[in-house]
Amino acid sequence: MKRSLLPSVEQLRSILMVAKNYSGLLRDVYKAHSDKSMVGMFIINQPVLLVRDPDIIKVILHTEFNCFRAHRELDNKLDPLLSKDPFFQNGHSWKVSRGVFLMAFTSKKLRYLSTIVKNISTMLIHNLDNELIEKNYIDIEAKNFFADFTTSIGVNSLLGIENKSLMEMYVKLFRNMMDNIFEPSLIASLKNNLDFFNPMIGNLLNSGLVPSDINEKFLKIIEDIIEIRKQNGSNKNDILENIIDYEKKFIPNDDVPAHAFSFLVESFETSSVTLSFLFYQLSKHQNVQQKVREEVFRVLEKFDNELNYDTIKEMTYMDQVINESLRMFPSAGRFMKICTEQIELSAANGERCLLTPGDVVTISLEGLHNDPKLWDNPDEFNPERFNRNSMDYKLRHKFIFLPFGSGQRMCPGMRMGLINVKMATATIIQKFIIDSSPKLQLPIKIDNSYFFSRVKGGAWIRFKRL
């Protein structure tokens, strides 16, 4: 791949000042080259091809998947836990790691896990009720609020804890770990920024994406729990026990803590980010919020007021609203693929690019999802875009909306994540009005200094009793 573009001085300054992450840089490059199907660039010394054309994206993710089946791998010594996540693995190791998630998220097990999510959602409502006993409203920072929710789900699903005080202890402990990963110090953020632009930097700094003390603490916690279960002959029906059972057939014993860590990481950040942006949109668009509420009441009446795995599947307008929020604010702003076989990509406009093994290809979801050439009025929040009965939806290119990826390396936790989001939304919207908070900084700006984008100054919303 020939060198064709270098990031500008301003872009590099943003990276060094931790004002912009990889997704933010790619979004800017995507927007700056609206006449191109592909944009070649160097990031530090790493050649990268940014693909803008949906037809070429289809080739990469589906048609010629075998030529782009690899992802970036992490150093096992620097990231002993996260390196076993299927997102960072390839070949046989990827198939085994992905199998852990597929095993954990069968329809039968999702049905069981949805009862846990429902119970945590009920606790969420109880806490809000207590906060509003002597108040007319309460202002809440949505990302922080829903991070407690997703941590509770992750801990309960992973460890099957029934004792309330013990669960609260683990939630606090694991929440602190996740915050240290996803809300790092300025120096750590800079290192992570540079490391994602070029993995050699992490190796030179002898530092992984996850702080070493977190790796050590989590490893000891899971090893101790496994040992206690062996001594007591415990046979719980939780994710950890499922991983242990899977390990007996397919994975090394020392990989169990790593896969438990992956489950917790996957369940924590993306769902809480998605919920924070979704509730911001609901607070801003009261007509949409009311329509979601009416659908929830209508579906619950049909199912004897029972909120469960089956009832949330019936809430199709809520799906539209979630998808529109994910279009405007995808939790992960980009994909990266590594070429594994020589291939020439060609676009309808005549652009061509010859790729060889090792070349890096990337897709900007923030750019793709908000491209005015692909979406009418992309800055407008319009859930009707995702009405499956509309002609616009039926004729739309299938590769311009990719919040969870597509193809064989699609996010394996997608269905579980959507259960979290829909159950929380359905539970809250029955009893509370979500309104705008004066604490929200307007107009909102996206804070790209984090690995997953957030609302700058916080996604502040206001809850009032219905």
pLDDT reported for residue 300: 97
Cβ count within 10 A of residue 59 = 19
Least confident of 188-192, 389-393, 437-441: 188-192
**Residues flagged as binding site:** 411
**Residues flagged as binding site for heme:** 411
d(CA 270, CA 453): 10
pLDDT tens digits along 299-320: 999 999 999 999 999 999 999 9
Report the DSSP beta bridge partners of residue 362: 50, 336
Which of these, 211, 128, 129, 123, lies nearest to 167 by C-alpha position? 123
Domain 1-63+333-402 identical in fold to domain 64-332+403-465: no
Q: Which CATH class is domain 1-63+333-402?
A: alpha beta
Q: Which CATH class is domain 64-332+403-465?
A: mainly alpha
pLDDT tens digits along 177-205: 998 888 755 555 555 555 555 556 556 66
**Boundaries of every domain in the chain:** 1-63+333-402, 64-332+403-465
pTM here? 0.92
Instruction: State how far Cα 224 lies from the chain centre.
Output: 29
Q: To the nearest whole number, what is the mean pLDDT of the chain?
A: 88
Query: Is 70 exceeded by the pLDDT of residue 388?
Result: yes
Q: Encoding tokens for residue 326?
A: 């994910």
